[in-house]
Amino acid sequence: MRNYKFLLVFFFFIAGCVANRPVLLPPVTSSTEFFHLIATRYDSLHNQEVRASVDLTVDGVRERRASALVRYRFPSDLKLVVGGFGTVVMAARAQNDTLHVHLPRENRYLVGNPEDVLYVLTDVDLSYYAYDRAILGLPNLSPIDASRVVRFEPGEKNIFLELQHDLYLRRLWIEARTGFLREERVYNADGQLVSARILSDYRMDDGFALPRRIEIQQGEDVMLIQVKSRAINMGLSDEDFVLPMPKDATRHDIQR
C-alpha cells in the first residue's frame, strides 16, 4: 500500500513537472521558419490579468516603488492601475491606439497615442516594442518583420536577429532551445544605443512561458517591472476595463 501511494505521488509530481516545462523550439535554419514559429506561439493568449511592482528611475534618480494591476484583452484593450499604500496614483485605459489616463492627485485627464502619453509620464519610450508588449513582456515580432531581417545567425545557445527599421536598428538575442527573448537592443541611425530591454525569470503560466522580470534601460531612465502573479485567459468582461473619469478633470491632449 505504501508503494502504491508513493508511486501515485511520484506520478503526479512528474506530470506536474512536464506540464510546467516550456515547449522546446525545433532546430531553426531560416528567419522565415523562425518568424512562423514565434508568431504563432502566443496565438491562443487572449487575455491576462497581471499584478506587479514597478520601479522607475528618471535621470538616474530612483522613484518610489509602486504596485500595478494590468488587464489586457486581445486585440487592443488594456487597463492599468498604478498606486501604493491603498492610493491610486494613475488609472489608464487603452483602446484602438488611444490611451486615456486619469491622475487623481492633480485631477488631470491625459489623452493621446499610448506611447506618447506614457513617455510624458515616465520618460521611457516604449514605441520600439509597442507599449502593451513592452509592459507584458511579449516579443514584438510578426511575420511582417521577416522583410526587415538583415542578419540571422542561429547558434547552439542563442539565435541572433538584426532588423532594420526606417529610423532605427533592432538586435535581438533569443534562447535557441526555448525561443525565449532574452535581450533586445535598439540603435539609432548614428549607431548609438538608445534602448535595451532585458527579459528574465521565465515561468510557465497556464501553458505559456512568460518573463517575470522586465527591464527597459534608456540611458539614466529605467523601467523595471517585476510580475508577482498572472491569470491567463480568465474571461475578462467590459466592466473590467471601465475607467471612471470625474467631470471636472482637466483634459490635456498629448502629442510628441
- Summarize pLDDT for 215-252 with one digit per residue, the tens: 999 999 999 999 999 999 988 999 999 999 999 999 99
Strands 193-205 and 87-95: unpaired
* pLDDT score of 7: 38
pLDDT higher than 80, residue 16:
no
Domain assignment present for 13: no
Mean local confidence (pLDDT), 52-73:
94
Ranking 35-39, 45-49, 162-166, 193-197 by mean pLDDT, the lowest is 35-39
Domain count, the chain: 1
Domain assignment present for 200: yes
* pLDDT score of 22: 62
Domain assignment present for 244: no
Range of the domain at 136: 23-235
CA quadruple 74, 57, 112, 241: dihedral sign:
positive
* pLDDT score of 256: 78
Domain assignment present for 16: no
Domain assignment present for 255: no
The C-alpha cell of 238 is what? 467590459
Q: What is the CATH number of the domain that holds 164?
A: 2.50.20.10
The C-alpha cell of 95 is what? 483602446
Domain assignment present for 245: no
Domain assignment present for 81: yes
Domain assignment present for 5: no
Task: Give the pLDDT confidence of 90-126 residue by residue, as tens digits.
Answer: 999 998 899 999 999 999 999 999 999 999 999 999 9
Rounded Cα distance between 209 and 198, Å, is 15
Mean pLDDT of the chain: 89
Query: Which of 29, 23, 33, 38 has the alpha carbon at shortest distance from 174?
Result: 38
DSSP-based three-state secondary structure for 74: coil
pLDDT higher than 70, residue 20:
no
To which residue does cell 508568431 refer?
Answer: 39
The C-alpha cell of 43 is what? 496565438
Residue 255 φ/ψ, nearest 5 degrees:
-150, 125
